[in-house]
Amino acid sequence: MRTLRFILQKEFKQIFRNPAILRIILAMPVSQLFILPWAADYETKGINLSVVDQDHSPVSSRLLSKITASGYFKLASYPSSYRAAAAEVEKNQADIILQIPAHFEKDLVRQQQASLFLAANSINGTKAVLGSAYLQSILADYNNQLRQEWTPFPRMNAEARIQVLSANWYNPRMNYRFFMVPGILVVLVTMIGCFLAAMNIVREKEIGTIEQINVTPIRKHHFIIGKLVPFWVIGLVVLSIGMFISWALYGIVPAGSFLTIYLFSGVYLLAILGLGLLVSTVCSTQQQAMLVSFFLLMTFILLGGLFTPIESMPNWARWLTRANPVAYFIDVTRRVILKGSSLRDIMPQLLTMLGFAVLLNGWAVLSYRKTA
Amino acid sequence: MISVRNISKKYPVGKGELTAVNQLSFDVAPGELFGIIGPDGAGKTSLFRMLATLLLPDGGEALIGGCHVVKDYKQLRKKLGYMPGRFSLYQDLTVEENLRFFATIFHTSIDENYGLIRDIYEQIKPFKDRRAGKLSGGMKQKLALCCALIHRPTVLLLDEPTTGVDAVSRVEFWQMLQGLKSGGITIIVSTPYMDEASLCDRIALMQQGNFLTTGTPDGIKAAFAKPLLAVKADRMHQLVNAVREAPVVEDSYAFGEWAHAVMREEGHDRELESFLSAKGFRQVVVQQTEPTVEDCFLKLMRP
């Protein structure tokens, strides 16, 4: 026990004597939480619309003002021909072209129907898909409006009207920051856990101190616990700093209990530290450790549901995410922070994470023994 | 105290393998200062790492103080003090913190064994609050020696402790080793410096994984058995090759500002001198000299 206490004391001393690490620990949560939630936003606004209006009728100009009033579109240009509009797209000055053919109003009145043409620049997939979807819903709305106005004698409601009203549960205003911030917290804790722990142990190998340690009667588990505990503590401190910032900056207060968040984070950190330990046993230089953990974290984060929902991934990728601790943590933090899930609700995830922790640490300790 | 039998270590290199240590056997008596002298790449560090329980031998075995280096490595580590060739203490901890750390993981304290390290530690005590990484080379070695001694080991393994250390610190370091030896500690030390050989009780000359010879420094010098001459002349660059051409000379090599000539027989000094004068060398000096360990090493190295 005395040995372990002394090893921990030494590890903490070393960490706090490395000003770069301290700076990283403080600067990472602050800058990530300051910048990312504002920039990493799925909402598509300011779509540049190029309108080719060949009708110039009251109907077409009302349509245009309705579109621009939505706030999603910016009328970028108003060319006279489709060819000119296409040139705008090529110059990347227009994202969507809306062509209103000549006699649009006349056809609509006489034949009860008329066509519009819509073309989207799909270089930026999200913008194209979301932009044309927005535009179509505006058009449908306008269509209904016109029908109502033009039905001559509304003896009864001329058409069956089904109105869809949606409510965004747990995030009523669909604030993307509420969605992103818990995810960024996860990324932070993961980086601290995996990177720092792996680098720390490999550093001992690189500068040769592990030789001197190995000739002592030190117990392997003392050494490993001595390495993991400081980063476990630091991970939780970073999480606390992160939660404080998200409250101060974005007003996000967890709907669930802090105890649940810390309990799950504690177990999650064990798992991710085990991963760091495993990386350190296979690498012999800090550079290798850096590249390996970077690759692993990149994969975990992209397959973790932070940016793209797991539900929309192909089947095989969804299977992969089941072996991805980051995905569970993102899922759980969002549930607890936004939805207020209780410990009982997240029990399956907690048990899975415990399994990860045992598996990764066990594997790491076994392979550590073999090499040392 | 230490008994090594046929110990071997091979490393895979490409498709073949490199024999770093080739079936070495030797014994070291209790309280002896045993030196392993050899150039870089001779296999000294591999041998030390095997003795220090850090590397598994491919063959053979070694007993240190009755403990087998593979089977009883746990007990052995308590009796062993090992100082690797590369400084491997925590550079970001202070002198005192390093010492206390190693004392603690050996379940002892600085006070308990202070007597053993006092003479050495007193020299670095003024710097006890300095980070180990900021110490000079000689002070680093002293600190490393203190850390290797803090648990009162019975055997000390020092892998090239004086490499990269200035001449004054080297002399001090060897004085410390003599002090420890008189305290009853068995010491194995390796060095690439031939002049340090005479400070050991017994030495082994190591080359490409083999011991060329083992014995006391004087015994090894006595076994040189051939007359040795030191030669000097005006054109030193060409001298060694010219000396080699003389029929009375077996071998010649540069030795500091002299050329050493190993003679086939006693008493041909005059012949060599006139041979060189005939070759056009001026200011020729030929004098008898005593073989050093380096001469013995060079003689043994050449077939």
Q: Is B106 on the interface with A (CB under 8 A)?
A: yes
Which residues of chain B from 11 to 40 reach within 8 Å of chain A, CB to CB?
Answer: none
Q: B74, B104, B151: which to substitute to probe chain A, counting the most A Cβ within 10 Å?
A: B104
* Cα of A364 vs its chain's centroid, Å: 29
- pLDDT at position A253: 87
**Closest by Cβ to B88, choosing from A3, A209, A217:** A209
Give the whole-angstrom CA distance, residue A44 versus residue B155. Answer: 73
Q: Is B255 on the interface with A (CB under 8 A)?
A: no
- CB distance A217–B54 less than 8 Å? no
Q: Do B69 and B57 touch, CB atoms closer than 8 A?
A: yes
Tell me what ipTM this predicted complex has: 0.78
- pLDDT at position A179: 78
Our CA-based measurement puts residue A283 at a distance from the nearest CA of chain B, in whole angstroms, of 18
- CB distance B87–A10 less than 8 Å? no
* Cα of B254 vs its chain's centroid, Å: 22
- pLDDT at position A158: 53
pLDDT in tens, chain A (372 residues): 788 888 999 999 988 888 887 888 788 888 888 887 777 666 667 888 899 988 888 888 888 888 888 888 888 888 888 888 888 888 888 888 999 888 888 888 888 788 888 888 888 777 788 888 888 888 888 888 887 777 766 555 555 566 777 777 777 766 777 778 888 888 888 888 888 888 888 988 888 888 888 888 888 888 888 989 999 999 999 899 989 988 998 888 888 899 999 999 999 999 999 999 999 888 888 899 999 998 998 889 888 887 777 888 888 888 888 889 999 998 898 889 888 888 889 999 999 999 999 999 999 888 876 544
Between chain A and chain B, the number of residue pairs with CB atoms below 8 A apart is 62
Q: Is B73 on the interface with A (CB under 8 A)?
A: no
Q: Is B161 on the interface with A (CB under 8 A)?
A: no
Q: How do strand B258-263 and strand B249-255 relate by DSSP bridges? A: antiparallel
Our CA-based measurement puts residue B90 at a distance from the nearest CA of chain A, in whole angstroms, of 7
Give the whole-angstrom CA distance, residue B25 versus residue B216. Answer: 16
- CB distance B107–A3 less than 8 Å? yes
Give the whole-angstrom CA distance, residue A118 versus residue A128. Answer: 11
Cα dist from A358 to A190, A232, A266, B65, whole Å:
17, 15, 13, 40
pLDDT in tens, chain B (303 residues): 899 999 999 998 888 889 999 999 999 999 999 999 988 889 999 999 999 999 999 999 999 998 999 988 889 999 999 999 888 899 999 999 999 999 999 999 999 989 889 989 998 999 999 999 999 888 999 999 999 999 999 999 999 998 888 888 889 899 999 999 998 999 999 998 888 888 999 999 999 999 999 999 999 988 888 889 899 888 888 888 888 888 888 889 988 889 999 988 888 888 888 888 888 888 888 888 988 888 898 888 876
Task: Map residue A40 onto helix, strand or coil.
Answer: coil
The one-letter amino acid code at B125 reads K
- pLDDT at position A372: 45
- CB distance A216–B102 less than 8 Å? yes
Contacts of A18 in chain B (CB under 8 A): 92
For B44: left if phi > 0, alpha if psi spans -120 to 50, otherwise beta; the answer is alpha
The one-letter amino acid code at A368 reads Y
Q: A3, A6, A10: which to substitute to probe chain B, counting the most B Cβ within 10 Å?
A: A10
What lies within 8 Å, CB to CB, of B264 at 6+ separation is B226, B248, B249, B250
- pLDDT at position A40: 66
